Amino acid sequence: MINETESKIEEAIRNPKNVGEMADADAVGTVGSPDCGDMLRMWIKFREENGRKVIDRASFQSFGCQTAIAVASVATEMLKGKTAAEASGMSGQELSAPLGPLPPVKIHCAQLVEGALRNALGVESSEPPKTTSPTLMDQLSAATQPTKVKIVIDRKET
């Protein structure tokens, strides 16, 4: 039997909002999780409203699980009209609230969205930065650089 949270996640996956790059973005944030391999990038565009700089729109790209996509979809809708300070104060739990309580194994998906948002807004995380290995794109880009290789064959006679 499917519960209400799962139903809302499935709906957000079927009809995700604000997916894709934003060419005229004012801010971009990227975060990845070496634990699960998910990566999320968020774009933010601001506008002036009543003398305040507020979020006009936000979009995202995700390479990850369905829950991360669903959270990013609802979060980008929630951010509209918020100031950077208001948005940066939102927790992963607040960003995922429209979906209902996430299962404990999926809480990291909301934290991923929160991390991308904070990264875009230039907010320092309270956690130390995680080191990640080079991405496939980094490795492919590095492979196009001319390099010299020295091969040494050590033959020991027995």
- Residues with active-site annotation: 36, 109
CA angle in degrees (0–180, nearest 5) for 134-140-144:
125
Give CA 110 to chain center in angstroms: 9
Distance CA 135, CA 158 (A): 43
Q: What is the CA radius of gyration of the chain?
A: 20
How many Å apart are CA 80 and CA 146, to the nearest integer?
46
